[in-house]
Structure 1
Amino acid sequence: MTDLMLRYFREKQQKVQSEKVYETQCPFCSMQCKMQLIEQKIISRKQYKTIGQDNPTSEGRLCVKGLNAHQHALNQERITKPLLKINGQFVPVSWQVALDTIQERFTSIQKKDGKNALSVYGSASITNEEAYLLGKFARVALGTKYIDYNGRLCMSSAATAANQTFGLDRGFTNSLTEVPNTRVIILAGTNIAECQPTIMPYFQQAKENGAYIIAIDPRETKTTQLADLHLKIKPGSDIALANGILKMIIEANFIDHTFVSERTHHYKEVKDYVTSITMKEIVTDTGITEKEIRQVAHIFGSEPSGMIFTARGIEQQINGTETVRAFLNLLLATGKIGKRYSGYAAITGQGNGQGAREHGQKADQLPGYRSIENIEHRRYIAKVWGIDEKDLPKKGVSAFEMFEKVDQKEITSMLIMCSNPIVSSPNANFVRKALMKLKFLMVVDLYLSETAQLADLVLPSTSYLEDEGTLTNVEGRVLLREASFPIQGEAKHDWQILCEIANKLGKKKHFSYQSSEEIFDELRLASKGGKADYSGMTYKRLRKEKGILWPCRGENDPGTVRLFEDEFAHDDGKAQMALVKHDSLKQKPTLTDDYPLFLTTGRVMSHYLTGVQTRNSSALAAINFEAYLEIHPQTAKIYGIKDKELVRVSSEKGWIIVRSQFSSAIRKDTVFVPFHWTENQNVNRLVDDQLDPFSKMPGFKLGVVRIQPL
C-alpha cells in the first residue's frame, strides 16, 4: 500500500471517529422538517452539513433554508452575554446584574404607572412550552393584561374565520396525506413553492393523480406554474371572486342540500345575497372573466372531493377574516369538509404559528384555546396555576394596538421575545417612534436585531440547535424538537429566562421548572378539556410516534386526523355560513392620481420573516442580498424606470428605496416587494395601520403607492 493510500485511510478514519450527530428540526416555516446536523472535525477544523430525516409531514425533504440553518446558529455575531445600554452603548454584564436591573425597573415602573404599564410581545417561532410560559409569566409574574404576539400579523384572520365558521381553528382540517387523492384544489393567496417548498410534492402528486389545481394570485409564481388555471386577480377583490364562484355553483345546482340543511346555518341569507349580484359587477371588481369564474364553479362544484388552501395573500387584508369566510362558504355549500380528501387548510407561516396561538400568548386567550373572558375557563386555568381567579387579568389588546398604547404612554415598559416588530409591523416608522418612548425596553433574541438595538437590555437566547421543546406544525401535528448542541456562551433558554425573572419578582413557586418536559406536562393539564387538547401527549409518545395531531385527549388516543366528520365545534354542532358583502371593506385602498399602483408584499424562498436569522446565514444572504420592486415592463416604461435601477416607492405612511426587477408575471396595475429587509428597504414602512375588525390583522397585502426613479 502506498503512502498516499495510507494517508487517505488515516484521514478517513480520523474523520469518522470525530463525527457528532445532533437531532433537530428546521427553525423556519410551519413544515418543521426533521433533520440532523452532522459535525465533522478534520484535524483542528470543524465543518457541518445538514441532512433530512424521515417524518410524517415532510418525509425527509429539506429546502435551502433548512440546509443552511446552522449558519446563523453558529455565527460569531450571535449575542452570548447580557447587554446593558449605558450612556447609549451596549456593555456586556453578568446575568446577576441583568436580573437585578429587570427587578428594579419592573418594580419601580409598576409602582408608579400601575401593573398594566408592563407588557409582553411574544412570538410564533418559540416552542409551545415557551409560548405557554410567556402567557403565564405575563399574567402571574407581572400581573398585566397586555400580552400579544407577532402571530397576530400572520395567521389571525384565518384563525378567526375558522373559529367563527367551524367553532375551532386547527390549520388543517385533514392531514397532508389526503392531498394527493383530492380531485380539485383551490390555492387562494398562497405561494407554497417559495414559502413552504417541502410541501410541494403533495400537490405534484395530486396533479399526477388527475387533480385540477386553481391558483388565485395577482402574480405568476412558482406555485401558479403548477396550476391548471391561474386567476390573476385584482388585489383586494377576493370576496367578490368567492361570491361569484358560489353564485355560479348555486345556479348550476351543485349544492349539497342535505349537508347544508343538516350541518350549517345561514345558507338562505348567503344564497339570497350572492344570487342578487350580477356577473358584470364581479368581473369588473376582480378582473377575472365570467368564463373563468364559471369554469372554477363547475369544476369545484361537480367533483366529489375538493380542498381549499388559503394563506397571507387573502388573509393579510383589513377584511381578511371575511375574505376567508367567503371561501369557506364554498366548502360548506358543496359539503366538501369533514370527509376524506375534502377540507380546509390555512397554510401557517411561522414555525410554531399553530401552537403559539393555542396556549395563551394572545390577548384574549388562555391555554387549550380557552377564552380569557369565559368564567369557567378562567377558573380552570387559575386552579392549574395555583392563583385566585380574581387575580387573573382580563383581556388586553392586539399586537399593533399595544404599540398605540405605548405611544399614548399607557404602556411604559415592554418585554419582546424572539420578534422584531419595528420591521414586521405595519406603519413601521410609527412603531419605532413609539418604542423609543418606553421607560424600559427589554429584548430576548439571538442577535442585535433592529428592535434590539433600541433596547435598554438585551438577553441572549438559545437557538433551535440548543433549545428542546415541542412545536405544532402546519397540520396541527405536535412534534418534539430534540436539541443537544452545546449552548453558545452564556445564552439561556427562553423558558429559563422567564423563570429567573419570575424568581426575582417573588413568584418562584409558580415558575420552578427544571426542564421543558416539566413545563409540557403542566401545559398538558392546562389544555385538558380545551379545544386544543394536548393532554394525551407525552415526550415519550412524541418520540415514538414522530408527532401527534391534536386534539389528543388521553394517552390511548391516537390523535385526530380529520376534524368535523360528525359535527362542528359550535355548541349545536353546526357550521356558520357568512353573508359577506363586496363592500365589507369600508376604507378599501383605491388607486388615485397621487398613488396609481397597488402594492402587495410577500416572501422569497431564501429568507424568513424579518431576516434576523437568514440574513446572518452567509449562504442564504448571498442568494438574495437586497429587496426589490417587481414591476411589469410596460408599467415601468410609463414611469420612466429602467430594469435593475433604484426606485423610490412612496405611500401616505412613508417611503423606501429598492431596485427594480422587470417581470411580465405581475399585473400591470400592481407592484410587489418582499418584506425581509430593513431600514430604507423595509416595505412595511409603506403599510397602513388600519386593522381587520375581527382578527386585528393589518393590510399588508393591499396598499397603494407611487414610484419614481431615484
Structure 2
Amino acid sequence: MSRAATHCPYCALQCGMYLANGAASGTVQVTPRPAGSNRGGLCQKGWTSAELLTSTHRLTTPLIRWRRGDPLEPASWDEALSFIATNLRRLQGDHDTDTVAVLGGGGLTNEKAYALGKFARVVLRTKNIDYNGRFCMSSAAAAGNKAFGLDRGLPFPVSDIAEAGTVMLAGANVAETMPPFLQYLSAQNENGGHLIVVDPRVTETARQADLHLQITPGTDLALALGMLHIAIMEGYVDRAYVANRTSGFDAVRPIVMSYWPERVERVTGVPASQQREAVRLLAEVDRALILTARGAEQHAKGVDTVSAFVNLALALGLPGMPGSGYGCLTGQGNGQGGREHGQKADQLPGYRMIDDPAARAHVAAVWGVDPTTIPGKGPSAFELMDSLGGDQDGPRALLVFGTNPVVSAPAAARVEQRFRELDLLVVADLVLSETAALADVVLPTAQWAEEDGTMTNLEGRVIRRRRLRPPPGEVRTDLEILAGLADRLGCGGAINPDPERTFAELGRASAGGVADYSGITYAQLDASDGVFWPCPGPGHPGTPRLFLDRFATPDGRARFVPVEHRAAVEDIDADYPVYLTTGRVLAQYQSGAQTRRIDALHTAAPGAFVELHPDLAERYGIADGDDVRVTSRRGTATAPARVTETIRADTVFMPFHWGGAGRANTLTNPALDPTSRMPEFKVCAVRLERVAGRTQREAGAAADAGAFEKLTTAEVHG
C-alpha cells in the first residue's frame, strides 16, 4: 500500500493521520487527517512518529543471551522460540503453571491485548498477568465502576468539551501530554467558557486557566471534599437530580460538613476564596465538566479522590446530562481498550470480572476450553513485579509485551533487581529498551504502521489502525509471536495471527459484557470515523453518550461514595523535607523508549531535570544548571536544576521519561491504593543536595546520552 489512513501511535487522543511511502528510499511521510478526536491536529510527537520506522535503533532480528553474563547475540526465530518454549516447559514442570508471568501494555491494540490475555490463561494457564495500565487509569476506572456501574474514560464525545460553560481539569497538563486537545479548550474559551486547573505547578495548561488552584501535592481529595461542602452550604446542589437519579447523598453530606473552606485551605494551600470561586464557576453555568487525570489519580488514595470529584459532579447534577458530566482523560494510546479485553489481572474480555462464573462460562465457550481451567485473579502489576525471582517465592519467568517497567515502575531500582533475579526474561519490543537490555531473549516487534488492528481512544471510540507496509528484516507482529509460541507449547491454533479474525473472536467473547464490541466489524470501522462501545450486535450504531436515561447500576441510579481525606502515605518530615511530584514533558512520551530515539525529540528534551522554586534553590545553595541529588527512602536520582517560580516552594518536579542517573521512578513510592492497586507516583518525600563540581546542565544530558549509547550498542555486541 502506498498510503494508509491510520492514527498516531502515542497518547489516547489517537489523532488521525495519513501515512505515505515517500520518494526517498524507506521514508514515510506523515500528514494530519481530521478524524475522531483530533480534527486534523498533530503534536511534535505525531509529526515525527514515522522516523522510528527507519531508525537505526530498530530491532530487526531476535536476540538471545545464551548464558547469564554474556551479551545478547542475534539469533533466528526458530532458535528464539525454541529457547523460550524449552525454558517455560522446564520451569512449569519444576514448579507450577503460575511460575510464568506476563506483563502487557496500554499501547497494545485491542487484538493484541485480547490475545495476550488468552495466551496467558489458555496456553500458559497462569493467573499471573497484568499490564501497565494499572499505573494509568485504574483509580478512575474503579471509582467509575463504583459510582456509575461502568468505566469508560469519557462517557461522551470529546467535542462536548468545546460547548461546556466551565471545565475543571484536576491533575491534567494537556498542553504537554496531548496538545491537540487544546483546540477544544480554545473553542470553549471562545464560546465564553471558563477553565479551572488543579495542579501544584504553573503548567502550560494552568497558564491558560481562568482559575489555577495550586494545590499541595497529595491533597486533591481534601479539595474535592471542600468544594462539595461549599456547594451544599451555598445552595448549589441540584436537589431534583440528586433525588431522581442518585442514591447515597445522605451518607456523604455529614462527612463533607467538616471540610469547611478554611480547614481545606490549611490542608491544600488553596485559598478559601478560590475554592468558592471554583464552585461558583461550575455551578452557575448550564453545562459543566469535571475531568481528572494522573495528577489526581496516581495516589494510594486515588480511587477515593476520584470518588470525591464524582460526588461533586453528582451533587451539581452533571453526569448523564447533555454536555455535562465527569470524565477521566486516559493517558496511554489504548489505555481504555487495553484493560477491557483480558490483560488485566481480574478481568476477562468485555470487561467481565474473572471471578464471575457466568463470565467464565461465556468466555470459555468462545475459547473452547473448560471454565474450570481458566485461572483466577492474579496480583496487580507492581505486586506481580515485586514477587519475581526465586528468592521471592514468586514467578521465575516473565514475558513482557509493550512496556518498559525498568523506567516506568515505582521503586524502579527494586523492580530492576527483581528482573535480574529471574530465571527467564523475555521482552518483545521495537527497540532495545532498558527492560529489553536485561532480557534473556528479545523479540523484535512490528510498529503501528506495519500492522492492522484497532484501538479504543479516550472517548471509548473504537478506531482502525491500518498497515502501510510490512515490517523490516525478520520483525514479526505480536500476534505472530504469540501464535508461534502457542504452537511451540502445544496449543497450535489458540492464537490467530490474523488481526481481523482475532477482532471477530474478541467481539464474540465480549458479547453481553459491559464493554460489548460484538456489533463492531472491520468493515464498519473502515466505513466510519469509529464506533463507540457498547455496540451490542450487528446494525447497532454505537453509544457516543452514556447515562442519558439511566446509569449502569442495578437500579439505574448513580451512587455517591462516602470518602475521607488522608495524608500522603509518605509526608514530608525533618529527614525528607521536600515533596516530589512527577510527570511528562511535551517532547517525550511515557518511558521514552520510542521518543528518546527520535532526533528532534531528543534535541528538544535531551534529559531529566529537577524543577524547583528560587526560594528552595536558595535554601540549598543551588543555581540553575547545577546538578542536584534527589534522595528518597528508595534511592537517589541526579539531574540538572531548573529554577523557576512556576512550582510551589515546598515541591520539586521531575519528568519520568529517562533511565540512568536521572530516573525519577527510582524515588517514587510503591504504596498502593487498596482498591485499584495504583502506586503513589505523584507524591513522596525527598531531600536535596547540590552535587559539587557539576554546574553545567549539559552534564546531566551527557550522562543520559552516554547511558543511551551503551544501551543501544554494548548490550547487544558485548
TM-score (normalised: structure 2)? 0.94
C-alpha deviation, 1:312, in angstroms: 0.5
Deviations 1:242-272 (A, max 9, x none): 1111101001111111221222221011111
Aligned counterparts of 1:372 and 1:413: Cα–Cα separation in 2? 23
- Residue 528 (structure 1) aligned with residue 528 (structure 2): no
SS in 2 for 1:578: coil
Mean CA deviation greater in 393-402 or 303-312: 303-312
Q: CA deviation at 1:46?
A: 5.3
Kept in 1, the 8 Å contact 2:229–2:260? The answer is no
The secondary structure found in structure 2 opposite 1:86 is coil
The 5 Å alignment of 1:92-241 reads 92-241=74-223
Sort the Cα spacing of 1:652 and 1:196 in 2 relative to 1 into closer, same or farther, 3 A: same
Q: CA deviation at 1:236?
A: 0.8
| Residue of structure 1 in register with 2:37 after alignment | 57
Residue of 522, 536, 553 corresponding to 1:553 = 536
Amino acid at match of 1:337: P
Tell me the amino acid that sits aligned with residue 581 of structure 1: E
Q: What displacement does 1:635 show?
A: 1.1
Q: Match for 1:112: what amino acid?
A: D
Matches within 5 A, 1:503-542: 503-511=487-495, 513-542=496-525
| Counterpart in the other structure of 2:642 | 661
1:180: how far off?
Answer: 1.2
TM-superposed CA distance for 1:86, in Å, is 2.3
Aligned to 1:588: 569
Taking the aligned partners of 2:26 and 2:677, their CA distance within structure 1 comes to 47
Aligned 1:671-686 pairs, distance under 5 A: 671-686=652-667
Q: Paired residue for 1:644?
A: 625
**Quick check: 1:374 aligned with 2:359?**
no
Verify the 8 A CA contact 2:479 2:497 in the aligned structure 1: no
Kindly indicate whether the alpha-carbon contact (under 8 Å) linking 2:534 and 2:543 is maintained by their aligned counterparts in 1: yes
Asked whether the equivalents of residues 252 and 298 of structure 1 are also in contact (C-alpha less than 8 Å), the reply is no
Match 1:361 to one of 331, 334, 343 = 343
Q: Does 1:78 align with 2:62?
A: no
- The answer to whether structure 1 residue 499 and structure 2 residue 483 are counterparts is yes
The corresponding residue for 1:13 is: none
Task: Write the mapping of 1:365-444 to structure 2, written as runs, cut at 5 A.
Answer: 365-407=347-389, 408-444=392-428
Amino acid at match of 2:74: P
Aligned equivalents of 2:89 and 2:2: distance in 1? 46
1:270-349 superposed matches below 5 A = 270-349=252-331
Distance (Å, rounded) in 1 between the aligned partners of 2:274 and 2:477: 52
Q: Any conservation in 2 of the 1:409–1:437 contact (CA below 8 Å)? A: no
Residue type matched to 1:689 in 2?
A: P
The answer as to whether partners of 1:71 and 1:616 remain within 8 angstroms in 2 is no
Contact 1:611/1:677 (<8 A) preserved:
yes
- Name the CA distance, whole Å, in 2 between partners of 1:569 and 1:310: 21
1:3 alignment counterpart: none
Shift, 1:48, TM fit = 4.0
Distance 1:277 1:37, change over 3 A: closer
Pair 1:484 & 2:465 matched: no
Q: Alpha-carbon deviations, 1:418-469, whole Å to 9, x = none?
A: 1111111000111011111111111100111111111111111001110210
* Structure 1, gaps ≥5 residues long: 1-18
Q: How many residues align?
A: 687
In 1: Cα distance, 2:373 partner to 2:383 partner: 23
The answer to whether the 8 Å contact 2:430/2:445 transfers is: yes
- 1:56 Cα deviation after fit: 2.6
Partners of 1:315 and 1:321 within 8 A in 2: yes
Task: Give the 3-state SS of the residue equivalent to 1:145 in structure 2.
Answer: coil
The separation in 1 between residues aligned to 2:400 and 2:173, in whole angstroms, is 29
Q: Secondary structure at the match of 2:73?
A: strand
Contact (CA 8 Å) 1:83, 1:91: kept in 2 or not?
A: yes
- Deviation string for 1:643-680 (max 9, x for gaps)? 01111111010001101011111111111000000011
* CA-CA distance at 1:603 after TM superposition: 0.4
Match of 1:451 in 2: 435
Which amino acid letter does the alignment assign opposite residue 440 of structure 1? L
Deviations 1:536-581 (A, max 9, x none): 1110110111211111112221111111111111112121111111
Q: Describe the SS at the equivalent of 2:630.
A: strand
After superposition, the C-alpha distances for 1:82-110 in whole angstroms (9 at most, x for unaligned) are: 11102411111111111111121010100
562, 583, 589: which is aligned to 1:602?
Answer: 583
Provide closer, same or farther for how the CA distance between residues 535 and 46 of structure 1 changes in structure 2, counting only shifts above 3 A: closer
Mean Cα displacement is larger for which, 172-181 or 46-55? 46-55
Distance 1:394 1:47, change over 3 A: closer
Q: Which residue of 2 aligns with 1:10?
A: none
Q: Give the AA of the match of 2:44.
A: V
Provide the C-alpha distance between the structure 2 equivalents of 1:208 and 1:607, rounded to a whole number of angstroms. 30
Letter in 1 for 2:47: L
CA contact (8 A) 2:19 2:468 kept: no
Q: Which moved more, 1:624-633 or 1:404-413?
A: 404-413
1:41 CA displacement: 2.4
In structure 1, the residue matched to 2:702 is: none
2:364–2:371 CA contact under 8 A, matched in 1: yes
Deviating 4+ runs (over 6 angstroms): none
Q: Is the 8 A contact 2:103 2:400 kept in 1?
A: yes
* Aligned mates of 2:19, 2:359 — CA distance in 1: 42
> TM-score scaled by structure 1?
0.95
State the Cα deviation string for residues 463-511 of structure 1 (Å, max 9, x = none). Answer: 1110210000111100000012231110100011001100111111322
Query: How far did residue 47 of structure 1 move?
Result: 4.5
> Following TM superposition, by how much is the alpha carbon of 1:302 offset from its aligned partner in structure 2, in angstroms?
2.5
Distance across 1 between alignment mates of 2:5 and 2:75: 32
Q: What's the Cα RMSD here?
A: 1.2
Query: What is the letter of the counterpart of residue 494 of structure 1?
Result: D
Q: CA deviation at 1:589?
A: 2.1
Q: Which residue of 2 aligns with 1:352?
A: 334
Per-residue Cα deviation, 1:342-388 (whole angstroms, up to 9, x for no partner): 01221111111110010001000000000001110111001110000
Residue aligned with 2:610, SS: strand
Any unmatched runs of 5+ in structure 2?
A: 692-718
- Letter of the 2:303 partner, please give it: T
Contact 2:569 2:671 in 1 (8 A): no
Equivalent residue for 2:561, pick from 578, 584, 596: 578
The letter for the 2-side match of 1:67 is: W
Match of 1:670 in 2: 651
Q: Which secondary structure does the structure 2 equivalent of 1:41 belong to?
A: coil
Task: Please say if 1:700 is aligned against 2:684.
Answer: no
Deviation per CA, 1:37-90: give whole Å up to 9, x if none.
333325xx5544311012131111111001001112211221111111024111
Identical pairs, percent: 42
Letter paired with 1:503: D
Cα separation, 2, equivalents of 1:144 and 1:48: 40
> Displacement, 1:404?
2.2
Q: Which residue of 1 aligns with 2:458?
A: 474
1:568 aligns with 2:545: no
Q: Which amino acid aligns with 2:534?
A: P
Aligned partner letter, 2:638: I
SS state of the match for residue 254, structure 2? helix
Give the SS at the match of 1:260.
helix
Give, in whole Å, the separation in 2 of the partners of 1:261 and 1:22.
51
Whether the 8 Å CA contact 1:131–1:359 is kept in 2: the answer is yes
Asked whether the equivalents of residues 15 and 42 of structure 2 are also in contact (C-alpha less than 8 Å), the reply is yes
SS of 1:625 mapped into structure 2: coil
